[in-house]
Amino acid sequence: MAVARVFSLLFFSFLTSQAWSLTPQEQRGRDHVLKYPVTTTKVLAPEQALRNLLARNASELESSLFLDNLPQGINDLSKFFEWIGLPRYQKGMKKPSGVKDDFHVGAAVIPAKIGNAISVSCAACHSANLFGRTIIGLPNKGVRANELFVLVKKIAPALSPKAFQALTKANDEETEIYAQTREALQSVAADKPMVLGLDTSLAHVGRSLAKRKLDEWATVTPFNSLNPRKHTLDHQRADSKPAVWWNVRYKTRFLSDGSVVSGHPITTNILWNEIGRGANLRELDHWLNQNHDVLEDTLAYLNAIEAPDWESFFGSNSLDIKRAKKGEEIFIENCSKCHGNYTKEWQTSHKTVSVDYPTPTKVKNVGTDPMRYLGMIELGDQLNDLEISKRHNLRIQAQEGYVPPPLVGIWARYPYFHNNSIPNLCALVEPRTRPKIFYIGPANDIEKEFSKDCVGYPTGSETPKAWLDRAELRYVTSKEGLSNQGHTKMFLKEDGSYKFTQEEKWALIEFLKTL
């Protein structure tokens, strides 16, 4: 390995572990994304009781109800967090208070209303392992947060607080925390994603609102929890990938569908999170009014996050700069109108020195899968009618299309499109031969689990054999909501032939590596 590459890798490792140079406000915001800040939240896990449960030999009916739904060998918290998909803290990464030695990124003990317990933060879905490095702000390719809700909702009704206490040796406070969680889950609806790496937040929020009273505060009542209203998302899939955090600074519309047209982006996400955790919205409104600094600190941190750089992983000699410059010309002429302009200083570095992204943020319908947009229509109306939305100027307006995202760090954000339906950039630029089936695996082995040429998942015969037997990794584009259609006009002429030569496509991909 060349000396220059060794230095580059060490330097990048330092940046990821030390969180680059943050202001005090940004550092506080980083703590909030790693340690969930909402102290009125309802769904919590009593730490010691959970440790005891995982350590048990699952012989009793109640314990097997929980443990038999997990893969074998999960007998401690670290392995449990690994199953959920939470990346590990790297050596030297600063942890907020409440993060213990065996906790992974996104899990922390928080001071909640009843007592201290484990909560999972936004970083669970918005941080990921990338070839041995933990990248905060990168969509998590293997998170099981939604699946965890499905699992707990299956167990809780059959496990009374008294039985929980006997099974886990929980003290009275822990038992009360469990009782609160069990009660809150009655007003929560959860769906497992169709493929690992997708998120079912639309269905989680919309169907949970349908389990509440139809009033301005979406009041939780036993009757409504047991008799939910019908909802479009009961039968319509709208799975999508978690958002990229370092793109927040460039956008005036949020979410991949651009549907958040007003309101603080952090407030919006907290509201969604808390509806999905059975929150009392009056209590949440009070918390929001008392914690404006938390919202601003968190947004400041998101605006400060830097994307991972290709050269730091693959070395300074891994790029064909001459080819990338040709790709830049193609990009400026064909892509920049929607995705922005990226100023480079090719004489000294391939790095981007400035980004000129369209303002206000555009929403474009380029023919990609419409299910997320369609799923937002009914949910948007539900959210807009809430008093908490009106008080905080939160407004949803379903958009016919999606946001053409800024492409900063695009090489690390595979698979592509809002629904992860494009495995790599080769498939993007070759719309006539996009794979109908591919596999979405982990990002551990940089040589075997990543295609440097195509930038993304290896496909076909190059697919790692270990992935083939895991049904949760199998992506089938013929399924509703998983279509890889659209975004073809740029690459195809009206007669269906390709606009660009093969060399021009390779040049475009080479340029995208540098963003």
Gap between the Cα atoms of 473 and 465, Å rounded: 12
Got the DSSP string for 90-105? PTT----TT--TT--T
pLDDT (tens digit, 9 = 90+) per residue, 92-146?
899 999 999 999 999 999 988 888 899 999 999 999 999 999 999 999 999 999 9
Residue 59 · residue 294 · CB < 8 Å: no
Over range 333-361, report the average pLDDT. Answer: 92
Whether residues 51 and 99 share a domain: the answer is: yes
From residue 73, how far is each of 58, 317, 473 by CA, in Å? Answer: 11, 42, 21
Same domain (yes/no): 297, 421: no
Are 182 and 215 found together in one domain? yes
Whether the bond into 360 is cis, omega within 30 of 0: yes
The answer to whether residue 307 scores a pLDDT higher than 90 is yes
In a domain, 396, yes or no: no
Q: What are the φ and ψ backbone dihedral angles of 236, each rounded to 5 degrees? A: -105, 125
**Tokens, residue 295:** 């919202």
**Single-letter amino acid, residue 259:** S
Per DSSP, the three-state class of 146 is helix
Structure tokens at 365: 């319908």
Q: Tell me: the pLDDT tens digits for 175-219?
A: 999 999 999 999 999 999 999 999 999 999 999 999 999 999 999
Distance CA 209, CA 191 (A): 14
pLDDT at 316: 81
d(CA 263, CA 392): 7
DSSP 377-405: HHHHHHHHTSHHHHHTT-EE---SSB---
Tens-digit pLDDT profile for residues 309-329: 999 999 988 999 999 999 999
Pairing of strands 260-262, 395-396: antiparallel
Range with the poorest average pLDDT among 128-132, 347-351, 427-431: 347-351
User: In 56-91, which positions are buried (b, 16+ CB within 10 angstroms) versus exposed (e)?
Assistant: bebeeebbebbbeebeeebbebbebbebbbbbbbee
- The per-residue pLDDT for range 198-207, each reduced to its tens digit, is 999 999 999 9
Q: Which of 126, 247, 266, 257 is nearest to 197 (CA)?
A: 126
In the beta sheet, which residues pair with residue 108? 119
Query: Do 298 and 338 belong to one domain?
Result: no
Share of the chain above pLDDT 90, in %: 85
- Cβ-count burial of 236 within 10 angstroms (0-12 exposed, 13-18 middle, 19+ buried)? middle
Residues 139 and 200 reside in one and the same domain: yes
Please give the average per-residue pLDDT across 399-414, as a whole number: 95
Which residues 6+ apart lie within 8 Å of 24 measured at CB?
A: none
- Give me the pLDDT at residue 230, please: 96
At residue 158 the predicted structure's pLDDT band, cuts being 50, 70 and 90, is: confident
- Could you count the other beta carbons within 10 Å of the beta carbon of residue 261? 18
Per-residue confidence band for 288, with pLDDT thresholds at 50, 70 and 90: very high
**Are 300 and 327 in the same domain?**
no
Q: What share of the chain is helix, strand, coil (3-state, %, to 5)?
A: 45, 10, 45
Contact (Cβ atoms closer than 8 angstroms) between residue 476 and residue 436: yes
Contact between 295 and 394 under an 8 Å Cβ cutoff? The reply is no
**Do 126 and 243 contact (CB within 8 A), yes or no?**
yes
Please check whether residues 296 and 438 belong to one and the same domain.
Answer: no
Tell me the average pLDDT across 145-162. 92
Q: Looking up tokens 């295609």, which residue turns up?
A: 451
- The residue behind tokens 């406000």 is 25
The predicted pLDDT at position 11 comes to 41
**What are the phi and psi torsion angles at 329 (to 5°)?**
-60, -45
Q: Quick one: which of 132, 152, 168, 193 has its CA closest to 51?
A: 168
Average pLDDT score over residue span 59-78: 70
Q: Provide mean pLDDT across the span 454-470.
A: 96
**pLDDT score recorded for residue 1:** 37
Q: Check whether residue 12 and residue 146 sit in a common domain.
A: yes
Nearest-5° angle of CA 72, CA 36, CA 443? 50
Would 116 be classed as within a structural domain? yes
Q: Are residues 157 and 282 in the same domain?
A: yes
**Confidence band for 67, pLDDT divided at 50, 70 and 90:** low
In a domain, 129, yes or no: yes
CA–CA separation, 452 vs 435, rounded Å? Answer: 18
For residue 64, what pLDDT band results from cuts at 50, 70 and 90? Answer: low
* Residue 506 pLDDT exceeds 50: yes
Residue 307 tokens, joined: 């994307």
Q: Is residue 43 part of a domain?
A: yes
Give the per-residue pLDDT at 65.
62
pLDDT at 428 over 80: yes
Number of domains in the chain: 2
Write down the mean pLDDT value for the chain: 92
Is residue 87, in this structure, part of any structural domain at all?
Answer: yes
What pLDDT sits at residue 63? 55
Strands in 239-337 per DSSP E = 260-262
Do 176 and 81 belong together in one domain?
yes
Question: How far apart are alpha carbons 372 and 368 in whole angstroms?
Answer: 10
Farthest CA pair distance, the chain: 71
Three-class secondary structure of residue 120 per DSSP: strand
Distance CA 281, CA 58 (A): 38
Q: Are residues 136 and 19 in the same domain?
A: yes
For 204, the domain range is 3-254+263-304
Q: What angle do CA 186, 187, 188 make, to 5 degrees?
A: 95
Does residue 103 sit in the same domain as residue 135? yes
Cβ neighbours around 354 below 10 Å, total: 9
Question: Per-residue pLDDT for 7 more than 50?
Answer: no
Does residue 399 sit within a domain? no
Q: Considering only CA atoms, which of 423, 431, 417, 410 is closest in space to residue 473?
A: 423
Q: Is residue 315 part of a domain?
A: no
What is the DSSP secondary structure assignment for residue 122, as one 8-state letter?
Answer: G
Q: Is residue 309 part of a domain?
A: no
Structure tokens at 67: 């443990």
Name the band, by pLDDT with cuts 50, 70 and 90, for residue 240.
very high
Exposure on the CB side of residue 50, measured as CA atoms within 13 A: 19
pLDDT digit string (tens) for 10-45? 344 434 443 468 999 999 999 999 999 999 999 999
Query: From its phi and psi, is residue 20 left (phi > 0), alpha (psi between -120 and 50) or beta?
Result: left
For 49-53, 324-328, 340-344, 458-462, which range has the lowest pLDDT when averaged over its residues? 49-53
